[in-house]
Structure 1
């Protein structure tokens, strides 16, 4: 008796739409997805779940079922004794307790600019921006609260103080946070109006054709995989626009370094747009290639994230009116990868 299991994680994205309502204690939920195989035929639901999810006790799973937090093929089930059929898909939503407000936590920050109204940092890869389901602490917000002495804007979500825009967990680069509510409101207005200039560097498989251009398309949740976003039909999702240009082409066109300038900021926008053009990011676990060419396997060993870096952000200071521009070169891992690819190209 076995199953295939995936766990839905919270998206750390760069979507500039207004943040969702705060997640209170017990309100958020991660989803464990399971598919029953032939060995599960006729087995009680609670027994099958406890075997498939050994970290959760059978009593805990029975409580989740009776609370309406388990679905079978999209239908809510409240009977733990239900008999399972092969091929059925279950979704188990486990409530996650998130603190009412993030706590300050000391951590090293690469501060590019700071004044009494805002702070600009160079976020390293692997750091989640704000608390959420699965990431209750040790986020950039916790570090900013400590660094700024708790002085960050409240915004509309107590879990995201100061956060005006976001980056994926494994995307590095420049990020702006507000210290005051007035600065937050003004900066959020700029981002909503698409005024700030935001530029990314991406390593992609393949060669963009033409070498420069614009990718447009509605982006929304993937219809079959909620962990992913996708380019949808007109009228669905949110309008997204990415301007790109090719900076370098390596190894006869196998890999390219591409600069992307965002006109909008949707969830996973650069990753989705480039992937939709058959230019998936190197190292992207969600939208990337299913398999890496054997010749590249050794060269890419140890690089376990999407090769995406927010290299520059430009905006108008919300108080002084000054045009500010901040740039941060790719971190060591991505910089070393680019140099490795260059060396192999020049051999």
Structure 2
């Protein structure tokens, strides 16, 4: 399948392979093959004449056959204008060029489908509007990098184009230090090590990422160091060389080190050790109160784009993360390393 964006359409070209089951309804077949497209949208596109089978218009009930050539144009809806919203922000540092925010878990960074409000960008737009003088153009915050919705921690935000360009280059050339803390199921073979492996879309779960062959994804490197052992779990410090989607969670899960509480990648069940009695109940209670993965972007260091000074920022572990750590230290024979 190939696809591209035209002016107002997402375009797809599909050829039904010989080993596909024939006879499936056209609308059902396309909905299963095209990401983020519902059967209703497919039916609407068919009605409006945006889909052809072997260069001919067909109905939604057309039975797909091996060898069929399907050309699809799905209208791209115009996104709503992003609005500033007054929300509390934990700002660690701020000057005229940039700011560091300690993002809470469950906050989406950037507005997108399904999350046009309540995001970090909505909050930053309000915050920077408050800073700018009425006669000046509104300062729009520039997101340089992102964190997953359910990952907490430090994000740097550019307040002008020049700073955004410089910071973006830092991330591209790896001239920035980022460390994360994570609680994981299992124990690495060594106290320190490096995980590599290209990351791309999981061919079996379209909403997940996976370690894939080099030609199917983007190269990724994650360094780890053990901070503390807890029977069948470990507290890790992780440093990123690259910033791929879900990189830490995917790299760890691929090495049988699932991030504690991670619902998407299998860390929200008892992976190691006894799964009975009070131990099982303790972990189930932690999963219920946590409702996310135990992953926190703890430090961020870089050369300030304006002053040239090396700056380093650190953030406290959030309360839910600390609660899990406290329970493990109390119940799982901790062994401190750092």
Determine if the alignment matches structure 1 residue 339 to structure 2 residue 326. Answer: yes
Question: Which digits, 9 at most, give the CA deviation of each residue in 1:111-149, with x for residues without a partner?
Answer: 000100001000000000011111112210010011011
Determine if the alignment matches structure 1 residue 166 to structure 2 residue 146. Answer: yes
1:249–1:257 contact (8 Å) kept in structure 2: yes
- Inter-CA distance 46–221: structure 2 relative to 1 (3 Å threshold): closer
Determine if the alignment matches structure 1 residue 255 to structure 2 residue 228. Answer: no
Q: Once the 2 structures are TM-superposed, how far is the Cα of residue 249 of structure 1 from its aligned partner?
A: 0.9
- Inter-CA distance 43–312: structure 2 relative to 1 (3 Å threshold): closer
Question: Which digits, 9 at most, give the CA deviation of each residue in 1:283-340, with x for residues without a partner?
Answer: 1111124743442323433221111100011011101001111111121111111111
Q: Structure 2: 5+ residue runs without aligned partners?
A: 12-22, 31-37, 66-71, 133-139
Please point out which of 216, 228, 232 is paired with 2:208: 228
Distance 1:69 1:308 in 2: 43
- Inter-CA distance 43–65: structure 2 relative to 1 (3 Å threshold): same
Does 143-152 or 192-201 show the bigger shift?
Answer: 143-152
Please point out which of 304, 313, 320 is paired with 2:307: 320
Q: What is the match of residue 258 of structure 2?
A: 280
Determine if the alignment matches structure 1 residue 112 to structure 2 residue 92. Answer: yes
Q: Once the 2 structures are TM-superposed, how far is the Cα of residue 102 of structure 1 from its aligned partner?
A: 2.0
- Inter-CA distance 334–59: structure 2 relative to 1 (3 Å threshold): closer
Q: Which structure would you say has the larger Rg?
A: 2
Q: What is the match of residue 147 of structure 1?
A: 127
Equivalent pairs, count: 291
- Inter-CA distance 27–302: structure 2 relative to 1 (3 Å threshold): farther
Within 5 Å, give how 1:1-347 maps onto structure 2: 62-67=43-48, 79-82=59-62, 96-99=77-80, 101-149=81-129, 161-250=141-230, 252=231, 254-289=232-267, 291-292=269-270, 293-294=275-276, 295=280, 296-346=283-333
Q: What is the match of residue 5 of structure 1?
A: none
Question: Which digits, 9 at most, give the CA deviation of each residue in 1:61-83, with x for residues without a partner?
Answer: 632443578999xxx99522336
Q: Once the 2 structures are TM-superposed, how far is the Cα of residue 229 of structure 1 from its aligned partner?
A: 1.2
Q: Which one has more relative contact order, counting CA pairs under 8 Å at least 6 apart?
A: 1
Q: Once the 2 structures are TM-superposed, how far is the Cα of residue 84 of structure 1 from its aligned partner?
A: 9.2
1:65–1:78 contact (8 Å) kept in structure 2: yes
Query: What RMSD over aligned residues (CA atoms) do the two structures have, in Å?
Result: 3.7
